[in-house]
Amino acid sequence: MRPDGALASGTGTGRLAEPTRAESVGAVAILIGQVRDRRRRRTAAVLLGASVLVFAAAIASLLLGAAGLTVADVFAVLVGQGSPKAEFVVMRLRLPRVLAAVIAGSALGLGGALFQSTLRNPLASPDILGVTGGASLAAVGSMLLLGLEGPAVALAAFTGALVVAGLMWALAWRGGLTGIRFVLVGIGLASIVSGLLGWLITRAEVREASEALVWMVGGIASTGWSELGTSGGALVVLLTATAVFSPRMPLLALSDDSARSLGLDATRARATAVLLGVALVAVATALAGPIAFVALVAAPIARALIGHGQAALAASALVGVVIVLVADLVAQHAFAGFAVPVGIVTGLIGAPYLLWLIARGNRKGSDG
Amino acid sequence: MSRVATDSQHPAALMSRTRTGRRLPPATTLALAVGLLAVVAVASLAIGTRQMPLDLVLGAFTSLVPGDADQLVVRELRLPRAVVGIMAGAALGVVAALLQGATRNPLADPGLLGINAGASLAVVAAIAFLGVASPFGFIWFAFAGAALAAAVVFAIGSTGASGASPAKLALTGAAVTAATTPLVTLLLIRDDGTLLQFRFWSVGSLSGRGLESAAVLWPFLIAGLVLAAWLAGRLNLLALGDDVARGLGVRLGTTRVVTAIAVIVLAGTATSLAGPIALLGLAVAHAARGLVGGDYRWVTPLAAVLGAVVLLAADVIGRVVVAPAELEAGIVAAIVGAPVLIALVRRTKGGGL
The string of pLDDT tens digits covering residues B192-217 is: 666 666 666 666 667 666 677 788 88
CB contact under 8 A, A209 and B200: no
pLDDT digits (tens, 9 = 90+) for A1-47: 444 444 444 444 444 444 455 667 777 777 777 777 777 888 888 88
Measured CA to CA, the distance from residue B139 to residue B270 in angstroms comes to: 10
Is the Cβ of A339 closer than 8 Å to some Cβ of chain B? Answer: no
Set of chain B residues whose Cβ sits within 8 Å of the Cβ of A188 = 279, 338-339, 341-342, 345
Those residues whose C-beta lies under 8 Å from the C-beta of residue A333, and which sit 6 or more positions away, are A64, A339
CB contact under 8 A, B203 and A355: no
How far does B345 lie from chain A, in Å, by closest CA? Answer: 6
Mean pLDDT of chain A: 79
In this prediction, residue B161 carries a pLDDT of 60
CB contact under 8 A, B170 and A216: no
Set of chain A residues whose Cβ sits within 8 Å of the Cβ of B174 = 128, 187
Q: Which residue has the higher pLDDT, B107 or A177?
A: B107
In the predicted model, is pLDDT for residue B6 greater than 70? Answer: no
pLDDT digits (tens, 9 = 90+) for B34-82: 999 999 999 888 887 777 888 788 887 877 777 777 787 887 788 888 8
In the predicted model, is pLDDT for residue B310 greater than 80? Answer: yes
DSSP B78: I
CB contact under 8 A, A191 and B202: no
CATH of A55-364, one of 3.40.630.30, 1.10.3720.10, 1.20.1250.20, 1.10.3470.10: 1.10.3470.10
DSSP A264: -
In this prediction, residue A144 carries a pLDDT of 79
Is the Cβ of A352 closer than 8 Å to some Cβ of chain B? Answer: yes
In this prediction, residue A290 carries a pLDDT of 85
Q: Which residue has the higher pLDDT, A230 or B96?
A: B96
If you measure CA to CA, which chain B residue comes closest to A187?
B174
Is the Cβ of A217 closer than 8 Å to some Cβ of chain B? Answer: yes
* Cross-chain CB nearest to A192 (options B174, B322, B338): B338
DSSP B220-263: HHHHHHHHHHHHHHHHHHHTT-HHHHHHTT--HHHHHHHHHHHH
Set of chain B residues whose Cβ sits within 8 Å of the Cβ of A189 = 338, 342
pLDDT bin (cut points 50, 70, 90) of residue B145 is: very high
In this prediction, residue B17 carries a pLDDT of 46
Helices vs. strands in chain A: H and E counts, helices first: 16, 0
pLDDT bin (cut points 50, 70, 90) of residue A99 is: very high
Weakest-pLDDT range from A259-263, A321-325, A341-345, B18-22: B18-22
CB contact under 8 A, B338 and A352: no
Give yes or no for a contact between A90 and A62, defined as CB atoms under 8 angstroms apart: yes
Is the Cβ of A255 closer than 8 Å to some Cβ of chain B? Answer: no
How far does B280 lie from chain A, in Å, by closest CA? Answer: 12
Mean pLDDT of B303-308: 94
Measured CA to CA, the distance from residue A22 to residue B207 in angstroms comes to: 81
* Cross-chain CB nearest to B168 (options A196, A350, A362): A362
pLDDT digits (tens, 9 = 90+) for A187-223: 888 888 888 887 777 776 655 555 666 777 777 777 7
pLDDT bin (cut points 50, 70, 90) of residue B350 is: very low
* Cross-chain CB nearest to B167 (options A355, A365, A368): A368
In this prediction, residue B106 carries a pLDDT of 84
Name which of A266, A265, A196 is nearest B333 in CA terms: A196
CB contact under 8 A, B174 and A367: no
Q: In chain B, what are the domains?
A: 2-15+23-352 (1.10.3470.10)
Those residues whose C-beta lies under 8 Å from the C-beta of residue A270, and which sit 6 or more positions away, are A118, A252
In this prediction, residue A258 carries a pLDDT of 74
CB contact under 8 A, B202 and A189: no
In the predicted model, is pLDDT for residue B265 greater than 90? Answer: yes
In this prediction, residue B22 carries a pLDDT of 63
Measured CA to CA, the distance from residue B123 to residue B274 in angstroms comes to: 12
In the predicted model, is pLDDT for residue B9 greater than 60? Answer: no
Name which of B56, B37, B87 is nearest B274 in CA terms: B87
| Angle (nearest 5°) at CA B218 between B94 and B54 | 90
| Angle (nearest 5°) at CA B271 between B269 and B272 | 65
In the predicted model, is pLDDT for residue A121 greater than 90? Answer: no
In the predicted model, is pLDDT for residue B12 greater than 70? Answer: no
Weakest-pLDDT range from A52-66, B93-107, B284-298, B339-353: B339-353
Query: What region does B47 belong to: left with phi over 0, alpha with psi -120 to 50, or beta?
Result: beta
In the predicted model, is pLDDT for residue B303 greater than 50? Answer: yes
How far does B350 lie from chain A, in Å, by closest CA? Answer: 7
Measured CA to CA, the distance from residue A89 to residue B205 in angstroms comes to: 42
CB contact under 8 A, B170 and A187: yes
Give yes or no for a contact between B182 and B100, defined as CB atoms under 8 angstroms apart: no
In the predicted model, is pLDDT for residue B340 greater than 90? Answer: no
Instruction: Count A/B contacts: CB-CB distance under 8 Å.
Output: 159
Identify from A215, A356, A362, A366 which residue to disrupt to test chain B contact, counting B C-beta atoms within 10 A and taking the largest count: A362
How far does A262 lie from chain B, in Å, by closest CA? Answer: 26
Is the Cβ of A180 closer than 8 Å to some Cβ of chain B? Answer: yes
DSSP A13-63: GGGGS-SSS-HHHHHHHHHHHHHHHHHHHHHHHHHHHHHHHHHHHHHHHHH
CB contact under 8 A, B341 and A340: no
The model's pTM is: 0.79
Give yes or no for a contact between A327 and B147, defined as CB atoms under 8 angstroms apart: no
Mean pLDDT of B122-147: 84
Mean pLDDT of chain B: 81
Give yes or no for a contact between A115 and A98, defined as CB atoms under 8 angstroms apart: no
* Cross-chain CB nearest to B353 (options A180, A187, A335): A180
Query: CA end-to-end span of chain B, whole Å?
Result: 15
Residues of chain A with pLDDT > 90, as a percent, come to 16
* Cross-chain CB nearest to A359 (options B111, B156, B185): B156
* Cross-chain CB nearest to A188 (options B185, B341, B353): B341
How far does A202 lie from chain B, in Å, by closest CA? Answer: 6
CB contact under 8 A, A212 and B199: yes
pLDDT bin (cut points 50, 70, 90) of residue B16 is: very low
How far does B226 lie from chain A, in Å, by closest CA? Answer: 31
Chain A residues 98-127 with CB within 8 Å of chain B: 123
The 3-state DSSP composition of chain B as helix, strand, coil percent (nearest 5) reads 75, 0, 25
CB contact under 8 A, A358 and B157: yes
Set of chain A residues whose Cβ sits within 8 Å of the Cβ of B178 = 128, 292-293, 347, 350-351, 354
Set of chain A residues whose Cβ sits within 8 Å of the Cβ of B107 = 184
In this prediction, residue A64 carries a pLDDT of 82
In the predicted model, is pLDDT for residue A265 greater than 80? Answer: no
CB contact under 8 A, A188 and B107: no
Confirm whether the ipTM is greater than 0.95.
Answer: no
Element (H, E) at A243: helix A225-245
* Cross-chain CB nearest to B189 (options A213, A361, A367): A213
Q: Which residue has the higher pLDDT, A320 or A225?
A: A320
Helices vs. strands in chain B: H and E counts, helices first: 16, 0
Set of chain A residues whose Cβ sits within 8 Å of the Cβ of B185 = 213, 216-217, 341, 344, 347
Mean pLDDT of B175-187: 83
* Cross-chain CB nearest to A358 (options B172, B189, B202): B172
| Rounded alpha-carbon distances, angstroms, from residue A178 to A101, A309, A361, A365, B293 | 33, 20, 16, 16, 30
Measured CA to CA, the distance from residue A150 to residue B288 in angstroms comes to: 49
Name which of B168, B246, B231, B243 is nearest B6 in CA terms: B243
Name which of B27, B35, B115, B30 is nearest B304 in CA terms: B30
Q: What does the domain layout of chain A look like in residue ranges?
A: 55-364
